[in-house]
Structure 1
Amino acid sequence: MRDVVEQLQRLGMSGYEAKAYVTLVGAGQPLNGYEVAKRSGVPRSTVYETLGKLVAKGAAYELREADDATDYLPLPPRSLLERMRREFDDSIEALESSLPAIVAPPEAHLIHSLKDAGALLARAEDVIAGARADLFLSVWPEEMKRLSPLVKRAVERGVETSLMHFGPAENPVGHLYEHRFSSPEEVSEGLGCRLLVVAADRRETLVGGFTGDTAWGVYTEDPAVVTMAVEYIRNDIALQIIADRVGHETMREFWADDPRLKRLRAGHGHPAALMRAAGLPAHPRVPPPGADRPGTR
């Protein structure tokens, strides 16, 4: 019952209204105000006001008795949910046209810090759900489990989706490429984290990292950062396609022997350390380029 009450509150009912409605639904027969108060825990001093609000919303009906007493019946749950859905959809449709009209152009493109896994994944879901033209993702299986349903919906509504997935994907969606060169384990060791990058419509991007139970990241609509995020994913996908074409062993030899590539790979674990330093309130010492993270070889 507590969960139902909480969900009804999220859809606009007050706590007392939700408790009274659930009580009426569970009774199976008309109830008067006294019975509703007794069964629901709504104070007797406010129960008739609460029932009146339910009646005004169409969520309950009054039954007038011959002795002028009043009983109450609930609108059936299926009908209530359909009505709420229609009202919600109507409000969203109205706001889609009216709300953007009052938005002032930003004076600067801000960067929002995200300092825990819940906030990071919730913001990633927002970016994916808002995509209309194209979507770029670089993601690991751990995060893909939560994001996959929204990615699938994006593909279904015609969003051009390009996805770099670190390791085998249980349910491939869109244009998905498995990161096999280098191996996911080598990438994780080099970065020091599982990097998540999401970019939608060349308009907004989220970049974050996960290490164990810790997560940190940023969200921005800055065009320069968005472009860099998109190009990062595009280039990573291109590298996988080239490796498949020329052969992974040939690529591995070239990757290991070319001194220019060795120089670019310097800074083991440095990217994650920089993000961690930027994402936490304290300012931990960032290891210099080339220094290993503790516990790695």
Structure 2
Amino acid sequence: MQDILGHLQRLGMSGYEAKAYVALVAAGRPVNGYEVAKRSGVPRSTVYETLGKLVARGAAFEVRGAADATDYRPLPPEALLDRMRREFDGSVDALRDALPAVAGAPEGHLIHNLKDGGALLDRAEDVVAGARRGLVLSVWPQEMARLDGPVRAAAGRGAEVSVMAFGDLGDLGGPRGGERIYEHRYSAPEAVLADLGYRLLVVVGDRREAVVGGFGGDGSAWGIYTADPAVALMAAEYVRQDIALQILAERVGGDELNRLFATDPGLLRLLGRR
């Protein structure tokens, strides 16, 4: 019940309106204000005002009851939710055009810290949802569990999706649509985790915004979001280079790649081994 009330409030109802509407739905028949107050916990002093607001928003209707009294019945839940969806989508579409028109020129590219794992995944999901042309991810199964649906949706709307997976994604790995998923085998995920000490998450949308962060084994998390295209490009290239290395290892073999890394002067210098 608390979940229902919370969702109705997030969609624009006040706490009293949500309680009164749920009471009307649960009654299964027209009821008067006194009974709504008794069923919902809305104070009798405000129940008729609350019902009036539901009627004004079209979520309830007045009907004539016994002795010409006024009873109330709800708009059926399916119809209410369809109406709310239409109104919400209409507002989003209007704001999509209107807000950029009044926005001032930014003084600099947005960048901010993400203080915990929830904020990090929320912002990562925002980047995935905003991607229209390209989406690049470096991700572990724990975080892909949250991002899988939005990633599939991005591929479904035509974004080119490339995923570097540290570990077997299982059901999260397929069947897929337009995504290209590469499992990191050249360095075992356990070795990467032991080396870094955390699970690195990189999400880049359209090479214009990025989330980079890490999840520690103790439940800690850190991260940043940036809309700086230069930083986003670097983050995307980091993942693409990792994917390229994985493809190269599969083509020439891990042993040959290890030999090159151990003997080539240029690679040794880049790796800081000489």
For this structure pair, what is the TM-score category when the shorter chain's length is used for normalisation?
A: over 0.9
Aligned equivalents of 2:265 and 2:195: distance in 1?
17
Aligned equivalents of 1:91 and 1:228: distance in 2?
35
2:195 matches 1:190:
yes
The 3-state SS of whatever aligns with 1:138 is: strand
Unpaired stretches in structure 2, ≥5 consecutive residues: none
2:243 matches 1:237:
yes
Aligned equivalents of 2:27 and 2:271: distance in 1?
68
CA distances 1:106-153 after superposition (whole Å, capped 9, x unpaired) = 111132001210000000000000101100101011111111111001
For 2:245, give the aligned amino acid: L
**Match for 2:259 among 243, 246, 253?**
253
Hey, what does 1:280 align to over in structure 2? none
CA distances 1:172-197 after superposition (whole Å, capped 9, x unpaired) = 24011111111112212222211100
Deviation above 3 Å: which 4+ runs of structure 1?
65-68, 256-267
Equivalenced residue count is: 267
For 2:142, give the aligned amino acid: E
Q: Give TM-score scaled by structure 2 length.
A: 0.93
Unpaired stretches in structure 1, ≥5 consecutive residues: 268-297
Hey, what does 1:91 align to over in structure 2? 91
CA distances 1:6-64 after superposition (whole Å, capped 9, x unpaired) = 11111110000000000000011111111111111000110000000000011100012
Aligned equivalents of 2:183 and 2:221: distance in 1?
23
Aligned pairs for 1:130-149 within 5 A: 130-149=130-149
Aligned equivalents of 1:257 and 1:186: distance in 2?
22
Identity of aligned residues (%): 64
Hey, what does 1:274 align to over in structure 2? none
2:223 matches 1:205:
no
RMSD between superposed Cα atoms in Å: 1.6
Hey, what does 1:272 align to over in structure 2? none
Aligned pairs for 1:55-204 within 5 A: 55-65=55-65, 67-170=67-170, 171-172=172-173, 173=176, 174-204=179-209
Per-residue deviation, 1:266: 5.8
Q: 1:32 to 1:162 in 2, by over 3 A?
A: same
Aligned equivalents of 1:228 and 1:40: distance in 2?
55
**Match for 1:228 among 225, 231, 234?**
234
CA distances 1:184-242 after superposition (whole Å, capped 9, x unpaired) = 12212222211100100111001001102000010011122111101101111111111
2:211 matches 1:217:
no
CA distances 1:228-258 after superposition (whole Å, capped 9, x unpaired) = 1011011111111111111112112333455
